[in-house]
Chain A
Amino acid sequence: MSSETKIQTRKVKGGSIFRNQIFIPVAALLLLALFNLIADPSFYKITLGYNSTGDPVLSGYLMTILDYGSELAILAIGMTLVTAASGGQDISVGAAIAIAGSVILRVLCGHDSRPETLQAPIIVAFLVACVVAMLFGAFNGALVAYFKIQPMVATLILFTAGRSIAAWINNNELPIISDPSFAIYGGFIPGIPIPTPFFIAMICVVITMLALKFTNLGLYTQAVGINESSSKLNGLNPAFIKFLSFVLLGLCVAVAGLIKVSRLSSINYSVIAKDIEMDAILAVALGGNSLGGGKFNMLASILGAYVIQFLTTTLYKFNVQSDALPAYKAVVVIALVVMSTPKAREFMSKIGKKLKPAERSVA
């Protein structure tokens, strides 16, 4: 991270704020916020209510964004690392969440699909899910790092099989957990009106930031992403770094899976975390990170995740059907990617140069 900050400061010194990477998600956020303010200010209304168990709960569109954006932010952390190290994306995260969620429910339920009490402590279920998700991450990572298969194609395997495996883990039954203590991870901690996923996401972010600050993870990942062979000549092990990034993504997937199943206290294999891979990739792209690997900015990705959820919530508010959402997001992705191509940047900087003399003459 230290090298990262150096690059950042040099960037800010050298040019305008427009060159700063975090500018892109912030600008997108402001644009969306302004749009909502003009279209309908009631978007920002937050009300304090009480849920069925009588605990205070904040509700409103902004709370929805904080709530659902958090699982996306957690995924964005892992996806950023994978993107930076391998230059490709993992498209199996949705299917992997289904697997992780299924494992959690399986451990909690034991042999009965509708248990009265939990058959195992939640922490055990979560740890088992972590191990399973990291194993699947390791499978993807091994294909990418050691068999040299393109990341997106390698993860296509799990993308196809994942939901089937998830259904198979629970014998295609739909376990339901009635214990209220399981629901707090995707809902609210009694007495605290802010959704729990937000706290979980913040914990993940802090851990990631500390890891980037005090270990060489960030530096090595970027080195491998920028130039694999020269990082090898410098004594790094590029295959292992790539492998590691996929395993870490597996960990993020397990956390997101816990939130997802806790929210429903059940699971729907074909619908859970559907299309979330698109959102996670979009978050990385929106954070201004190159999808071709190399340098990354973790905070920008995390902010990007919340911006995506802002967009989704805005679209929902305007009564866009959930099945039609991908069409709008696809347009946003293409617009973003086109803007970040060298040709488009050249074009924009030309316009910028034309504008500059005008500014000077005004001054």
Chain B
Amino acid sequence: MKSAKKFKLSNMSDTNLLLTITIVVFFLMYIGAMLFQGKGFLKAQTFFNILNANAALIITACGMSLVMITGGIDISVGGVAALVSMCCAVYLDYHGGNVFGAVLIALGIGLAFGIVQGLLVAYLDIQPFIVSLAGMFFARGMTTIVNTAPFNVANEAFIAVKETRVTVPGFGSYNKLGKYVPAYVEIGVIVALLVVILLFCMLRYMKVGRNFYAVGGNSQSALMLGINVRRTRFLSHLICSLLAGVGGFVYFMHVGSGSASHAMGMEMNAIASSIIGGTMLTGGVGNIIGTFFGVLSLSTIQNIVSSAGLDQAWWTGITIAAMLCIFLVVQSVVMARKKKALG
């Protein structure tokens, strides 16, 4: 009988333990916000707005988790997202492109970064941090080279796509005049949810997905089990950069402009949400659902901070860093205790 099994911390797998912490923290935080700040957080649309604003972050954070599960890291995602938005903006406005072509550009840029970084990390054994640090600077520099000045896209077809709202039935609210306002999400959110589901299924039910955990947990044993470690590493970086491309396009759809300062610090937020979501930096432990909740926790905190009147820019940076620091230390302590418990 399953339910008879005694509930003990040390019985839980690392993944589930960290995931539980994250989900509990998120719900506590959101309920706390509802109780103490009221109004805004009681509306369903507030929640959907968090999703709308963070769809791109969800996508990139999922890719980041995948790389981190495999034991690497990729800090070029923000730069890639900025490059994608700038290239798409230039293509749509100055070269009379269509939306489909822009999507292809986004995927192409992501793929190119993924292949180069993946090759350098997996087949030449260079530290992923160095490779992606260079990737980040390269992408940011290239964004300026493509176009210096930030500008808004005026392409009609694109704006039509950008403005598309998907209404969510049953979550609307009545405004002051008593008129019913339906709740909505943007297309990006649907893409993000699809990415989350796909990656979750891949990591849980497919052989490739299990390989990521094996390589991240112990690459030596993975090698002995006959897993192609290099190819798995390569694949993780490829998927991460590809998702950074997709995330860049979703970001572009949300803001509708190209600028070299876009997605500044996105890599940081993606790493922070992955860590908050229970992905271990040492590899082998992590969960896409956790990452999803990690992004939600992070953006809820930001919302709380800004609606509490601490709207100065520095508070956001400090709160994220503090949260990241706490979770990192918690992870480190939890793992040290588990190790001790196991002997």
Chain A residues within 8 Å of B, Cβ to Cβ: 88-89, 91, 143, 147-150, 152-154, 156-161, 163-165, 167-168, 172, 275, 278, 281, 285, 291-292, 321, 323-331, 333-334, 337-338, 341-344
Q: Once the chains bind, are A153 and B141 in contact (CB under 8 Å)? A: no
B321 within 8 Å of A (CB atoms) = yes
Q: Report the bound CA distance from A338 to B126 in whole Å.
A: 8
Q: Which residues of B contact A143 (CB under 8 A)?
A: 325, 328-329
- Please report which residues of chain B, range 94-148, place their CB below 8 angstroms from some CB of chain A when the two chains form the complex: 120, 124-127, 129-131, 133-138, 140-142, 144-145, 148
- Please report which residues of chain B, range 186-234, place their CB below 8 angstroms from some CB of chain A when the two chains form the complex: none
Stretch of B20-28, B239-247, B312-320 contacting A (4+ beta carbons < 8 Å) = B312-320
Q: Once the chains bind, are A337 and B141 in contact (CB under 8 Å)? A: no
Determine which of A148, A152, A159, A328 lies in contact with B129 in the assembled complex, contact meaning CB atoms within 8 Å. Answer: A152
**Shortest distance in angstroms between B83's beta carbon and chain A's nearest beta carbon?**
10
Q: Which residues of B contact A275 (CB under 8 A)?
A: 137
Q: Once the chains bind, are A338 and B124 in contact (CB under 8 Å)? A: yes
Known: A157-B324, A338-B124. A324 touches B145 (CB 8 A): yes
Q: Which residues of A contact B328 (CB under 8 A)?
A: 143, 147, 149, 153-154, 157
Q: Once the chains bind, are A331 and B318 in contact (CB under 8 Å)? A: no
Q: Once the chains bind, are B125 and A342 in contact (CB under 8 Å)? A: yes
Q: Report the bound CA distance from A160 to B138 in whole Å.
A: 20
Q: Once the chains bind, are A153 and B137 in contact (CB under 8 Å)? A: no
Q: Which residues of B contact A278 (CB under 8 A)?
A: 133, 137
Q: Report the bound CA distance from A342 to B125 in whole Å.
A: 9
B304 within 8 Å of A (CB atoms) = no
Chain B interface residue count, CB cutoff 8 Å, equals 42
10 further A-B contacts with Cβ under 8 Å, apart from A323-B141, A330-B135, A337-B120, are A88-B129, A148-B332, A156-B268, A157-B328, A164-B315, A165-B314, A165-B318, A333-B130, A337-B130, A344-B124
Q: Which residues of A contact B120 (CB under 8 A)?
A: 334, 337-338
Q: Report the bound CA distance from A328 to B329 in whole Å.
A: 37
Q: Once the chains bind, are B321 and A343 in contact (CB under 8 Å)? A: no
Q: Once the chains bind, are A172 and B142 in contact (CB under 8 Å)? A: no
Q: Report the bound CA distance from A285 to B133 in whole Å.
A: 13
Chain B residues within 8 Å of A, Cβ to Cβ: 73, 120, 124-127, 129-131, 133-138, 140-142, 144-145, 148, 260, 265, 268, 271, 281, 312-318, 320-322, 324-325, 328-329, 332-333
Identity of the chain A residue whose Cβ is nearest the Cβ of B141 in the assembled complex: A327
Q: Once the chains bind, are B127 and A292 in contact (CB under 8 Å)? A: yes
Sorted nearest first, the 4 A-B pairs with minimum C-beta distance are: A327-B141, A164-B314, A161-B321, A326-B137
6 A-B pairs (CB sep. < 8 Å): A153-B328, A164-B318, A324-B141, A327-B145, A333-B130, A341-B126
Q: Which residues of A contact B321 (CB under 8 A)?
A: 157-158, 160-161, 164
Determine which of A159, A168, A285 lies in contact with B268 in the assembled complex, contact meaning CB atoms within 8 Å. Answer: A159
Q: Report the bound CA distance from A211 to B131 in whole Å.
A: 33
Q: Which residues of B contact A281 (CB under 8 A)?
A: 130, 133
Q: Once the chains bind, are A160 and B133 in contact (CB under 8 Å)? A: no
Identity of the chain B residue whose Cβ is nearest the Cβ of A341 in the assembled complex: B124
Q: Report the bound CA distance from A343 to B125 in whole Å.
A: 9
Q: Once the chains bind, are A334 and B131 in contact (CB under 8 Å)? A: yes
Q: Which residues of A contact B144 (CB under 8 A)?
A: 321, 323-324, 327
Interface of B is mostly: helix
Q: Report the bound CA distance from A278 to B137 in whole Å.
A: 9
Q: Once the chains bind, are B126 and A157 in contact (CB under 8 Å)? A: no
Interface of A is mostly: helix
Q: Which residues of B contact A164 (CB under 8 A)?
A: 313-318, 321
Identity of the chain B residue whose Cβ is nearest the Cβ of A285 in the assembled complex: B130
**Shortest distance in angstroms between B132's beta carbon and chain A's nearest beta carbon?**
10
**Shortest distance in angstroms between A233's beta carbon and chain B's nearest beta carbon?**
20
Q: Once the chains bind, are B137 and A330 in contact (CB under 8 Å)? A: yes
Identity of the chain A residue whose Cβ is nearest the Cβ of B126 in the assembled complex: A337
Q: Once the chains bind, are A172 and B127 in contact (CB under 8 Å)? A: no
Identity of the chain B residue whose Cβ is nearest the Cβ of A333 in the assembled complex: B134
Known: A152-B129, A323-B144, A323-B260. A329 touches B332 (CB 8 A): no
Q: Report the bound CA distance from A160 to B312 in whole Å.
A: 15
Q: Report the bound CA distance from A278 to B265 in whole Å.
A: 16
Q: Report the bound CA distance from A325 to B141 in whole Å.
A: 6
Q: Report the bound CA distance from A325 to B265 in whole Å.
A: 19
**Shortest distance in angstroms between A2's beta carbon and chain B's nearest beta carbon?**
30
Q: Report the bound CA distance from A291 to B73 in whole Å.
A: 16
Known: A150-B281, A330-B138, A333-B130. A161 touches B268 (CB 8 A): no
**Shortest distance in angstroms between B320's beta carbon and chain A's nearest beta carbon?**
6
Query: Which residue, of A150, A161, A167, has the highest number of chain B Cβ atoms within 10 A?
Result: A161
Q: Report the bound CA distance from A341 to B130 in whole Å.
A: 13
Q: Once the chains bind, are B140 and A327 in contact (CB under 8 Å)? A: yes
Q: Report the bound CA distance from A143 to B73 in whole Å.
A: 18
**Shortest distance in angstroms between A263's beta carbon and chain B's nearest beta carbon?**
23
Identity of the chain B residue whose Cβ is nearest the Cβ of A282 in the assembled complex: B134
Known: A149-B281, A338-B120. A291 touches B127 (CB 8 A): yes
Q: Which residues of B contact A292 (CB under 8 A)?
A: 127
**Shortest distance in angstroms between A316's beta carbon and chain B's nearest beta carbon?**
14
Q: Which residues of A contact B124 (CB under 8 A)?
A: 338, 341, 343-344
Determine which of B140, B316, B325 lies in contact with A326 in the assembled complex, contact meaning CB atoms within 8 Å. Answer: B140
Determine which of A163, A168, A326 lies in contact with B141 in the assembled complex, contact meaning CB atoms within 8 Å. Answer: A326
